[in-house]
Copies of this chain bind each other. A is one copy, B any other.
Amino acid sequence: MTMPTPLTGVVPPVCTPLTPDHEVDTASLTRLVDHLVGGGVDGLFVLGSSSEAAYLTDAQRGVVIDTVVGHVGGQLPVLAGVIDMATPRVLDHVRSVTDAGADGVVATAPFYTRTHPAEVARHFRLVAAGSPVPVFAYDLPVAVHSKLGAELVLELASEGVLAGLKDSSGEEGNFREVVLGARLRPDVTGFSVLTGSETTVDAALAMGADGVVPGLGNVDPEGYARLYRYCREGDWGRARVEQERLCGLFGMVGVGDAGRMGGSSSALGAFKAALYLRGVIACPVTAEPQVPLASGEVERVGKFLAGAGLL
């Protein structure tokens, strides 16, 4: 399908369910897609960070994109991450996911390499030149270890290199600068500004953002769809109540013992445990070398679900 311009609404980064021996569980994945589409989301983002794309082999990434594109059948747009270190490797992923039918690609700045801002701009220009579909920039400094500044993003938007931004930096000032620039600059049109934050969606939409890419949307897509609708209707009171309920639910990311595992493993483990407890996926395992949640930690995920009315 053609990507809406700008892309708006709730576009969750789709978790990648795995079997106990760490292969992609396609049956669970299609159930998860049904759960999200049925929950009222506006698009899907596969092979992002919450999808554990950094862990998946190329073959596994292929299974994911084939499964999701095939199952969605053009009902709503599918964006695919092309997460890799530098331009030539990223372009390989662009070819793979667009051959498989992705409607848009999501690329970070180079990482591992030490890359000058001028080279970051060059990277996005080369990726766009090699992509048959729109390119979204993915700002995730905690993983990429550089920040996409508002000025660079808006420049690339004005050149038509970028169709949108997924901002998972949590840096509110720069985000608003992009939102304002996208609205006020006459040379920027149809640019989609999406927040990757689970807990400040009402604020982002009130500022004028176009949508949200919430990892927690895997667990409660209806909640984010409602939150988005309230914001669009200008019903800020109900939006805040819904957002605060989701903030409470988001507490699940902290169930993992910080002495034993990373915060990212805890968050991904919690999302998968919640999907397992809600009956959406068959197995909550995460990719290697992530430490799994202990049983008591999974129980605490259940309490978060219960507290949010989801069990």
Contacts and interface: CB of A to CB of B under 8 A. Distances in A.
Given A119-B262, A126-B288, A288-B88, A176 B247 contact: yes
Interface string A28-43: 0000000000000000
A60 interface: yes
A123 to B, nearest CB: 4
Nearest to A93: B57
A89 B289 CA distance: 11
B57 A88 contact: yes
A57 B96 CA distance: 13
A115 B265 CA distance: 8
Interface string A254-280: 000001111111000000000000000
Interface stretch (A69-77, A157-165, A198-206, A222-230): A198-206
A5 B169 CA distance: 33
Given A55-B87, A57-B92, A119 B290 contact: yes
A299 to B, nearest CB: 21
A255 to B, nearest CB: 14
A244 B60 CA distance: 45
A158 B126 CA distance: 45
Contact of A86 (B54, B58, B88): B54
Which of A22, A244, A261 is the most central at the interface, judged by chain B CB atoms within 10 Å of its CB? A244
Interface stretch (A139-147, A185-193, A303-311): A139-147
A1 interface: no
17 contacts: A54-B86, A57-B88, A83-B85, A86-B289, A111-B111, A111-B112, A112-B144, A114-B263, A118-B260, A119-B261, A123-B289, A126-B288, A170-B171, A171-B171, A172-B172, A176-B247, A207-B240
Interface of A: 22, 54-58, 60, 83, 85-89, 91-92, 110-116, 118-120, 122-123, 126, 142-145, 170-173, 176-177, 180, 197-200, 202-203, 206-207, 236, 240, 244, 247, 259-265, 287-291
